[in-house]
Structure 1
Amino acid sequence: MNLSESKEIRDFSEEILTTDEEKSSILKELREMVFTNFEETNEKTMYGGIMFSNQRDENRGGVFAYKNHVSFEFT
């Protein structure tokens, strides 16, 4: 597994952690699931969440933290 080391992703993750530890934990677990099963995945912040794409930069979906829930959305 090779989670992104980008500052953009780290900053986003830290912001969620400071506002809601439970949502932060869920987002972390979902990201780990993606990278465990699809090692050649890229991620970037987009649309207020973290978007995943393949090596051809085709969006595949993303994870988003909302006021009352976390969603894993597919493109």
Structure 2
Amino acid sequence: MNISTRDKVNDFLSDIQSISSEQFDLLIAIRDIFIRSNEELVEDIKYGGLVFNVSDALIGGIYSYKKHVSIEFSNGADFIDNDSILEGGGKKRRHLQIYENDDIVQKNVEYFVSQAVNN
């Protein structure tokens, strides 16, 4: 696990790990995809989850729930999603619900993160 330069991010990750090792493993795998996708990415804690900003613009976040991890994309409605994998019907935001490690590949998380950080 990459240690964050922000104490509140490290505290958040430690809290998740102490509550659920399964949720922690999913969150770390998804976080690593975000971190690898853009070296200018800045992570923070907001709205009860781990959020990511590029050039001071919120691009998305990861939120841990009892039975799944949700990946939220701020401008997900603008993404190319030919297989209609993204969920949600708001004007801008879309999300993916991740229940297990296989979902990360099956739901094309890297593809959507790439769109989020490069839009």
Using the size of structure 2 for normalisation, the TM-score is 0.58
What is the one-letter code of the residue matched to 2:68?
H
Unaligned runs of 5+ in 2: 75-119
In the alignment, the residues of structure 2 paired with residue 18 and residue 30 of structure 1 have an alpha-carbon distance, to the nearest angstrom, of 18
Q: Is 1:23 the equivalent of 2:42?
A: no
State the shift of 1:4 in Å: 2.6
Greater than 4 Å deviation, 4+ residue runs: none
Root-mean-square deviation (Å): 1.2
Q: Is 1:6 the equivalent of 2:17?
A: no
Name the % identity: 34
What is the one-letter code of the residue matched to 2:31?
R
Partner of 2:51: 51
* Number of residue-to-residue matches in the alignment: 73
- Pairs within 5 Å for 1:32-51: 32-51=32-51
CA 3–37 in structure 1, closer or farther in 2 if over 3 Å, else same: farther
State the shift of 1:37 in Å: 1.2
Using the size of structure 1 for normalisation, the TM-score is 0.91
Q: Is 1:68 the equivalent of 2:53?
A: no
Q: Is the 8 A contact 1:3 1:31 kept in 2?
A: no
More strand by share: 1
Q: Which has the larger Rg? A: 2
Deviations 1:7-61 (A, max 9, x none): 100000000000000100111111110111111100110011001000x210000
